[in-house]
């Protein structure tokens, strides 16, 4: 029988590590708020989220992270980032993605994970080709895709604010969701974003995660499931198998894990303000029945 930690020993929280790609260059429209939301939602459950910035010139070692985030920037900022992403971080990022690490890429970051971005002026920016998609800016006279947006996702809604001149077109890539109100990828085909394995590209700013707590928790759950892939969960969400060995190894007691990880995986939080903000965007878009359904569901 494995020995469990003494209850009077110091208990350390579960830890996840998030790599923030290009925090200085790609941080338009408050996208850093996505990381603040992830950190807070982890903290309230006794999970420590460590955030490591990865700038131009930094290599990406995939085994050092549990999640990755890349935000959006202006075209002039994306050019040096595109080169660095391809030359310095491409191999590590591809390895992380193929190993099902959750990755959230917003706006410019989303564009750079497709095949290429063709700006209004200047040469094409080569992307990693994670998504079978491409983006083209149709020139300064073409109207921007700007304003509040709501999409359907997994039987629920995601809301945000979009502001992009480029139009993204999907090849075989699966969209993140279908546009209910707004422009989405290109204001033509009602698609928004793209998905490959556990990598999610989207144009939703605003920030995305503060107004969509269900999507934030979904990403956290993916990270936990992947980190503890050699474990199995019971109906109550507690680790089976070599659970006690794992608990001692990461410096947490079984009791602490029980408080932190429960079915479906994360303990619910008091999210009334978050859902009111979500519903407010739906109301601004004239989606009153959807807003009422959201409030009714989460108040009950």
Phi-psi region of 259 (alpha: psi -120 to 50; beta: other; left: phi over 0): alpha
Could you tell me if residue 70 is inside a domain? yes
CB 155 within 8 A of CB 214: no
Q: What is the CATH number of the domain that holds 73?
A: 3.40.50.880
Mean pLDDT of 7-18: 68
Average pLDDT, the chain: 85
pLDDT at 12 (0 to 100):
58
pLDDT reading at 255 higher than 50: no
Q: Which of 95, 46, 44, 48 is nearest to 68 (CA)?
A: 95
Mean pLDDT of 3-19: 62
277 occurs within a structural domain:
no
More reliable by pLDDT, 289 or 9: 289
- Residue 247 in any domain: the answer is no
- Its domain, for residue 29, covers 14-217
pLDDT score recorded for residue 149: 98
Give the confidence band of 264 by pLDDT, cuts at 50, 70, 90: low
- Within a domain: residue 174? yes
Question: Is residue 287 a part of any domain in this protein?
Answer: no
20, 42, 107, 278: the active-site residue: 107
- Whether omega before 207 lies within 30 degrees of 0, making that bond cis, reads yes
What pTM does this model have? 0.86
Rounded (10°) angle between helices 75-87 and 90-98: 80
Question: Annotation-wise, does 144 bind a ligand?
Answer: yes
264 is a domain residue: no
Q: pLDDT at position 265, please?
A: 67
pLDDT 10s digits, 271-284: 999 999 999 999 99
Confidence of residue 266 (pLDDT cuts 50, 70, 90): confident
Within 10 angstroms of residue 207's Cβ, the number of other Cβ atoms is 22
Residue 87 in domain: yes
How far is Cα 192 from Cα 131, in angstroms, rounded to an integer?
13
When divided into structural domains, the chain yields a total of 1
Predicted confidence at residue 7, as pLDDT, reads 42
**How confident is the model over 133-156, as pLDDT tens digits?**
999 999 988 999 999 999 999 999
Residue of 198, 205, 243, 278 with catalytic role? 205
Residue 116 domain flag: yes
Instruction: Quick: pLDDT tens for 195-224.
Output: 999 999 999 998 899 999 999 999 999 999
When mean pLDDT is compared across 17-31, 93-107, 243-257, the lowest value belongs to: 243-257
| Spatial distance between the Cα atoms of 196 and 112, rounded to a whole number of angstroms | 14
Is residue 205 flagged as an active site residue?
A: yes
């Amino acid at each position: 029988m494995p020995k469990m930690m003494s209850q009077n020993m110091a208990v350390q929280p579960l830890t996840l590590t998030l790599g923030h790609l290009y925090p200085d260059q790609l941080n338009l429209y408050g996208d850093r708020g996505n990381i603040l939301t992830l950190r807070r939602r982890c903290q309230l459950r006794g999970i420590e989220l460590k955030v490591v910035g990865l700038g131009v010139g930094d290599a990406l070692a995939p085994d050092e992270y549990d999640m990755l985030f890349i935000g959006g920037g202006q075209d002039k900022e994306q050019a040096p980032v595109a080169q660095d992403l391809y030359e310095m971080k491409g191999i590590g990022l591809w390895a992380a993605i193929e190993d099902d690490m959750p990755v959230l890429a917003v706006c410019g970051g989303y564009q750079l994970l497709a095949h290429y971005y063709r700006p209004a002026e200047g040469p094409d920016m080569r992307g990693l080709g994670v998504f079978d998609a491409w983006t083209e800016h149709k020139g300064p006279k073409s109207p921007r895709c700007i304003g509040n947006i709501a999409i359907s996702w997994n039987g629920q809604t995601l809301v945000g604010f979009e502001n992009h001149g480029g139009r993204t077109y999907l090849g075989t890539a699966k969209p993140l969701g279908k546009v209910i109100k707004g422009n989405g990828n290109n204001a033509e085909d009602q698609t928004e974003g793209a998905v490959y394995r556990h990598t999610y590209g989207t144009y939703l700013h605003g920030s995305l995660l503060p107004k969509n707590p269900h999507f934030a928790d979904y990403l956290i759950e993916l990270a936990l499931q992947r980190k503890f892939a050699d474990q199995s969960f019971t109906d109550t969400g507690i680790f089976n198998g070599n659970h006690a060995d794992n608990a001692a190894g990461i410096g947490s007691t079984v009791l602490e894990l029980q408080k932190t990880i429960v079915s479906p995986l994360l303990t619910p939080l008091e999210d009334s303000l978050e859902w009111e903000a979500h519903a407010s965007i739906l109301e601004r878009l004239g989606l009153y029945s959807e807003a009422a359904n959201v409030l009714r569901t989460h108040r009950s």
